[in-house]
């Protein structure tokens, strides 16, 4: 009996960041009604990662089974929203996404754990992430990994009224 190849977490290869942008745009438009401004944000995050990445402190992982992409996550240096200056000792988990066929298989848990392990090894003291209250599966995953909700507020974001949340993991 043939078994499918194991799921591996690997660094991005050519085309992977474009896949992240496309999948985020399509998924969040279909599932949550987010407009093209969300896809533009994802594109900016990916472009900044390419242009400014510090390999000792920032990484991206693609979950793949053979050639099939199943998910992604990125860990970057957190920056002050107003000044763009790095926040000392603070990382940001970004762009967690799972393809529908990967859900419920522990892939999300692997991706989030990889971020935490990398952040500890890189010397960060905490990880922040931004999400929305409607993303219940992601929120449950974060909570199970030790993240705690630190702020929430009602906002209009990407064409939708949402509850924006910031979560934190102390390392």
Instruction: Kindly report which listed range (2-11, 34-43, 75-84, 132-141) carries the lowest average pLDDT score.
Output: 2-11
> Bigger pLDDT: 127 or 1?
127
- pLDDT computed for residue 4 by the predictor: 67
Strand partners, 51: none
Of 133, 140, 123, 154, which Cα lies nearest the Cα of 58? Answer: 123
* Radius of gyration (C-alpha) of the chain in whole angstroms: 16
- pLDDT computed for residue 2 by the predictor: 63
Q: Please determine, for residue 1, whether its predicted confidence score (pLDDT) is greater than 60.
A: no
pTM for the model: 0.93
User: What secondary structure letter does DSSP report for 125?
Assistant: S
User: How much is the mean pLDDT over the chain?
Assistant: 95
The domain at 7-170 falls in which architecture? 3-Layer(aba) Sandwich (3.40)
Q: What pLDDT digit, counting tens, does each position of 84-123 carry? A: 899 999 999 999 999 999 998 899 999 999 999 999 999 9
Q: CA-CA distances (angstroms) from residue 46 to 52, 76, 132? A: 10, 11, 20
Cβ burial of 54 (10 Å; 0-12, 13-18, 19+) is exposed
Of 58, 57, 62, which Cα lies nearest the Cα of 12? Answer: 62
**Domain ranges across the chain:** 7-170
5 — pLDDT class (breaks 50, 70, 90): confident
Strands (E), the chain: 7-10, 59-65, 68-79, 86-98, 126-132, 148-157, 160-170
- pLDDT computed for residue 14 by the predictor: 96
Reading the block at residue 59, the tokens are 């990484």
81 — pLDDT class (breaks 50, 70, 90): confident
């Amino acid at each position: 009996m043939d078994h499918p190849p194991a799921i591996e977490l690997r660094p991005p290869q050519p085309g992977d960041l474009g896949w992240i942008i496309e999948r985020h745009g399509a998924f969040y438009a279909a599932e949550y009604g987010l407009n093209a401004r969300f896809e533009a944000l994802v594109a900016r995050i990916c472009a900044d990662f390419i242009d400014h990445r510090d390999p000792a402190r920032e990484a991206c992982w693609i979950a793949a089974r053979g050639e099939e992409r199943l998910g992604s996550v990125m860990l970057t240096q957190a920056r002050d929203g107003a000044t763009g200056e790095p926040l000392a000792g603070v990382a940001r988990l970004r762009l967690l996404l799972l393809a529908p066929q990967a859900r419920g298989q522990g892939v999300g848990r692997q991706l989030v754990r990889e971020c935490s392990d990398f952040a500890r090894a890189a010397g960060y003291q905490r990880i922040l992430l931004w999400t929305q209250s409607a993303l219940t599966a992601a929120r449950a995953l974060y909570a199970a990994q030790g993240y705690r909700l630190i702020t929430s507020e009602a906002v209009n974001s990407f064409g939708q009224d949402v509850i924006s949340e910031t979560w934190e993991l102390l390392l």
